[in-house]
Amino acid sequence: MNLPRGIARWGLLLVFVVVFGGFSAWLPGKFPTSGNVQDILTSQPPGIFIAFAAMLVLVVGEFDLSLGATLGIAQYLVLKLITHYGLSWEMAIVATLGVGAAIGVANAIAVIGLGINSFIATIGIATILDGLTQWISSGSEPLFGGAPKGFTTLAQTKHLVVLPVYYALVAAVALWVLLEFTLLGRQMRATGANRTAAKLSGIRTGRARATAFVLAGLLAAVGGILVTAQVGAADATSGPSFLLPAYAAAFLGATAIRPGFFNVWGTVIAIFLVAVGITGLQLKGVETWVTPVFNGSVLLLAVTVSNVAAAQRVLVRARSAVPWRGRAQPQQPS
């Protein structure tokens, strides 16, 4: 095996093992316990879904800064539809997923149809969603109680069997198949790599980008539903806090498995690496301000390393396009 390539692919997983082992040795009575492992597994699925959402939009070369707001309105709406409007929890979930998809459509219209930069468009959508969330929550008033047992059972955790982890695993496999083995997935990657070249080759780049935005809205809504199912309550202000860790995981994940490419399994490893780091620091008793500093630092580091990996990939392709570079030149015919 080419050692540098192997390190590039599996280095993040190695870092995860080292960090987990380091905290286990540092906090032997607190960190490597079944209870702590269960807490880590339980808390991550909503973050995994929104990280997948961020990754999909990045794959097509765009940003979606409305994901946190989408999660926020979804996690409040699903419970309000049950408790205030009498919908069954199944219908409330379907309606909430529909809202998530509609938000994705709105982003696609703004970015693709109207030609607005994705940063500006999705910030605008996020601001609208924040206002709508305040409206339906009567000024960000938390919603407690009323969640039916069938709904909260969706996020049941017992003896290290964490149901939301299985949902995240199913989503990971589905997205992996989509991006790596389907025509649409290849078109999405081509769109993100070079939109102009993709258009010239006949790829419908608008459809690829729209698909990413709609799927991102759906995934963010799933994350919001899981948040509410886990706690049986809804907090209208919790959504935006998921955005930064999601992008940190997506960029950090692009340094592993397929370095230089946003990918599913790298994102999963990154999510749990960040979670392990934050949990270990919290168990050590650090101040609360350390968590956002940690997340921001990870994001900056991840973007830097991801850019380096992408630049190296471009350099390798450029060198491979010059077959005689660094070799003896072929003899010219006399």
Q: Is 162 left (phi over 0), alpha (psi -120 to 50) or beta?
A: beta
Please give the structure tokens belonging to residue 204: 């419908």
Question: What's the pLDDT at 329?
Answer: 44
pTM of the model: 0.87
Distance, in Å, from the CA atom of 230 to the CA atom of 164, rounded to the nearest integer, reads 9
Question: What's the pLDDT at 334?
Answer: 41
Calculate the CA 141 to chain-centre distance. Answer: 27
Distance, in Å, from the CA atom of 129 to the CA atom of 123, rounded to the nearest integer, reads 10
Could you tell me if 226 and 155 are in contact, meaning their C-beta atoms sit under 8 angstroms apart? yes
Q: Is 239 exposed, middle or buried (0-12, 13-18, 19+ CB in 10 A)?
A: buried
Sign of CA dihedral 292, 296, 299, 302: negative
**Please, which residues bridge with residue 162 across strands?**
157
Question: Dihedrals φ, ψ of 236, to 5°?
Answer: -70, -10
Distance, in Å, from the CA atom of 303 to the CA atom of 285, rounded to the nearest integer, reads 28
First to last CA, the chain: 42
Calculate the CA 157 to chain-centre distance. Answer: 22
Question: What's the pLDDT at 274?
Answer: 87
Question: What's the pLDDT at 3?
Answer: 43
pLDDT mean for each 10 residues of the chain (334 residues)? 60 86 90 87 91 97 96 95 92 97 98 96 96 89 85 78 87 96 96 93 95 98 94 87 91 86 94 89 82 78 69 62 46 44
Could you tell me if 185 and 258 are in contact, meaning their C-beta atoms sit under 8 angstroms apart? no
Could you tell me if 122 and 107 are in contact, meaning their C-beta atoms sit under 8 angstroms apart? yes
Domains of the chain, earliest start first: 3-316 (1.10.3470)
| Biggest alpha carbon–alpha carbon distance for the chain | 89
Question: Dihedrals φ, ψ of 124, to 5°?
Answer: -60, -45
Concatenate the DSSP letters of all residues of 144-196 into one string. Answer: ES---HHHHGGG-EETTEEHHHHHHHHHHHHHHHHHHHSHHHHHHHHHHH-HH
Helix, strand, or coil (residue 4): helix
Question: What's the pLDDT at 310?
Answer: 63
47 residue type, one letter: G
Helix, strand, or coil (residue 138): coil
Distance, in Å, from the CA atom of 281 to the CA atom of 292, rounded to the nearest integer, reads 12
> Which distant-in-sequence residues (6+ apart) come within 8 Å of 153 by Cβ?
none
